[in-house]
Structures are given as C-alpha cells and as structure tokens.
Amino acid sequence: MMFNDEVERFLDDAYDDDEHAKAAARADIAAMHDHDAADATAAHDLIARHVWKTLRELGIYEGRFLAHGPDPEVLAGLPPSERRLEPGQANGFTGQIPAGHDPATSWPHHGTILRVMDGDTFHDEHDAVIGVAPYVDVALRRPGIADQRQLTQTIGVLTMLETTEPGGFTVALVSQELLDDPDPQFRQYIAHLGELAGAVRLPAGALRTDPGNDSCVDILVLRRHFGAPRNPHTFLRSLAYERNGLQAHLNEYYLKHPEQILGDPTIQQTIWSPAELTVRPYSVGLEHDLAVGMSAIVTYARQAGLTADTLASPLEAYETNLDAPKRYVSLDLPGDTHRVDLDVARDRINQLRSAQQAPDSENGPSRPGGTKPSPGM
C-alpha cells in the first residue's frame, strides 16, 4: 500500500543507511496521503465567507478577482449548488466581483461567472486575489523540505501580489514558517510589493483533523502598495519565544498582537527537529475566533489608511468616519512607480524560481518514483 517494497527501495536509494531520514520521509508521505484523503472544503468555505466580508469592509465592492488553489470555487464564493469541481480539487479562476457594500446581502456569490485562469488572464491585475497553498497544513519532517515549501510559497505570494492592482488586496493562506523563519529574506521580498494589513494564525488541525495535517496556517491580508508602504504592520523579524521552558521563533506581528493567534500557543519537542511552535484550539470554536480576528484586521486597516484604492473604487471625498471604508486615489505618485515596481518584482520572482529549480540532492525526492511535490502556491 503506502509503504510497499517499491517505496522502501526508493527510500534506500534516496537516503542510504540514514534511518532517521527514512523515518522522516515515511512521516511526510503518510501526512500527504492523509491530506489527500480528507478535503478541507468546509474549512475553506468558512474562511472564504470571512475573507470576503473583510474585503468588502475594506472597500472591495466591485472589480475583478482571482481565486486559485484547492477549492477555488469555494474561495470565489460560489454556493454549493453552483460548484462543479470535486471537493479539494485545485484550479484557478477569475471573475467579476458581485457589486454590493453589505457583506450580509452580498454572500454567497450566486450566479458569478468564472473563467479559467490562463496565460493571458494570470498576468492581468485584479482588485482582489485569494489563494491557498497546497499541503499548507501538513507538518513536514524531512530536513530542508519546509525550507523548500517556504520558497515555493514566497514565489506564490509574490506572484499573487504582482497580479493585484495597486491599492487592492491579496489574501494568502500560507504555512507558519513563512512568518516564523528567523531569516527575514523572503518577507523582505514580499514587503517590496505588499503591506501587511493584518494576519490571523489558525490552530493546528483547523483545516483537517487527520494526523500529519497539524501545521499551523496563517491567513495574510496584504495590500498591494504603490511603490512605498503607507503604514503596514511590522512583520519582517521573527524573535525568540519561550513557553514551558522551551524556545522557538515567532513573528514579531504575533508577539505584538497575540490576540491574532486563534488558540493557545505552545512549544513542543519532537523527534524530528528542535522545539517547534504550535497552536491548540480554544473551546469557543474557529467561527467565533475567526470573526473576531478578521474584524481586528479591518479596524486597523481603516485607521492606518490601508483600505481599497483601485480603479474599481469610485472617487469619493476622504472620510474620517472609521465606520466607513476610506477610499481615495493618490495623485502625487511618480508616473513610473507602478512600472518599476513590477520590474523589480518579476526579477525577484525569477531569482527565487531559479533557486528553486537548482539541483538539491540533500533532501531527495518527496514522493516515490517522482520529483519533489510542489507544496507552495
């Protein structure tokens, strides 16, 4: 079945006599198998509802969107009766954002026409981009494989931001190492294009409860800036965090805003690696906690002036009422800001992709008889 003679021969070829590495590879294969056997559609549906409520409260009332990754129809807001893909199936779709200011009356997105994302539409700009990385909630155990996932997800987030119109929003579900890695390099790349309006960290097992799918997931709400950030949350550094006599790293955003961790953070020792941070769910339930966490992102974004500012947003006078989204167009920017911004972004993406494609014999292939999985976006 999962670990037949062929798999064992593959592990012998990949890891020789390193039994610890073989055991870690078996754990990863089992975790990905469990991931594939259990869809996260119900959790994606809950998350999508709160994401779209947040986007509308931030001023995304019309325009175009892009949804990609597992359950893209769910991310797009289609009701169950209008979905055609099997639960958990991955794809990418673009479509028009159903007009409407009230999140309650604008959900779900009945009758929305979706177009399959292709080479032409992918590089268009959208007012909102929503994406989920594959294997985002899997706890990976082989040395270096989480680094590979982080690289792939960074490329995914940069590409999402590149396809987001300045003043629009990217919402990305990513694995926790993207924010917690002590090396800030990848986050610096992201900050070149996007400013963090806020984030929430889901507890382990929030998407699936199967063994192995117990890595924490972050929902990042990033506003594509116009070449320079306005007033984003700080998220570049990851600092030492201690609990129960153990130490791990936690992003400075969560250290300053612990309420955005939707559960009880704890540090656990494993046989695979140094102590790692995880989050145990509260008894209240994800529905309540997610609503509170996303509402806090809206509150901060309005106060910081990080609301929608795209061509789809009608021109209005600047509003000081924090109960209404502020929408405005910056008229004092250099004419080539957007162009330079894109060129630098594409250079970064190409550099990261080249690094990702370089031979890497230390980690070995991830799946028997094939190449490494691409657990990024």
Q: In this predicted model, what pLDDT tens digit does every residue of 113-145 receive, in sequence order?
A: 999 987 666 667 899 999 999 899 999 998 888
Angle between helices 41-57 and 286-304 (to 10 degrees): 30
Write down the residue that tokens 């550099």 correspond to: 351
Number of domains in the chain: 1
- Average of per-residue pLDDT across 41-54: 97
pLDDT band per the 50, 70, 90 thresholds, residue 376: very low
The reply to whether 252 falls in a domain is no
The reply to whether 362 falls in a domain is no
Backbone CA torsion sign across 317, 322, 324, 328: positive
Whether residue 78 has pLDDT greater than 90: yes
pLDDT of residue 74: 98
Alpha-carbon dihedral angle through residues 283, 103, 121, 91, given to the nearest 10 degrees? 30
User: Residues 104, 122: contact at Cβ < 8 Å?
Assistant: no
- Identity of the amino acid at 110: H
pLDDT band per the 50, 70, 90 thresholds, residue 299: very high
DSSP-based three-state secondary structure for 187: helix
What is the pTM (predicted TM-score) of this model? 0.84
Which alpha helices (DSSP H) does 163-230 contain, by range?
A: 177-180, 185-193
The helix or strand, by DSSP H or E, that contains position 124, with its residue range, turns out to be none
Label residue 350 left, alpha or beta by phi (over 0 means left) and psi (-120 to 50 means alpha): alpha
- Average of per-residue pLDDT across 186-194: 96
Look up the domain containing 135 and give its range.
5-233+282-357
The reply to whether 21 falls in a domain is yes
The reply to whether 258 falls in a domain is no
Whether residue 318 has pLDDT greater than 80: no
Whether residue 333 has pLDDT greater than 50: no
The reply to whether 188 falls in a domain is yes
DSSP-based three-state secondary structure for 172: strand
DSSP-based three-state secondary structure for 92: strand
Query: Two tokens at 19?
Result: 């039994």
What number of other Cβ atoms are within 10 A of residue 51's Cβ?
A: 23
Give the integer Cα–Cα distance in Å for 226 and 230: 9
The reply to whether 364 falls in a domain is no
The reply to whether 275 falls in a domain is no
The reply to whether 377 falls in a domain is no
User: Residues 60, 168: contact at Cβ < 8 Å?
Assistant: yes
First to last CA, the chain: 28
pLDDT band per the 50, 70, 90 thresholds, residue 329: very low
How many helices (DSSP H) and strands (DSSP E) are in the chain?
A: 11, 11
Q: Which residues pair with 202 in a beta bridge?
A: 217
For Cα atoms 135, 136, 141, give the angle at the middle one, nearest 5 degrees: 70
Q: Which percentage of the chain shows pLDDT scores above 90?
A: 62
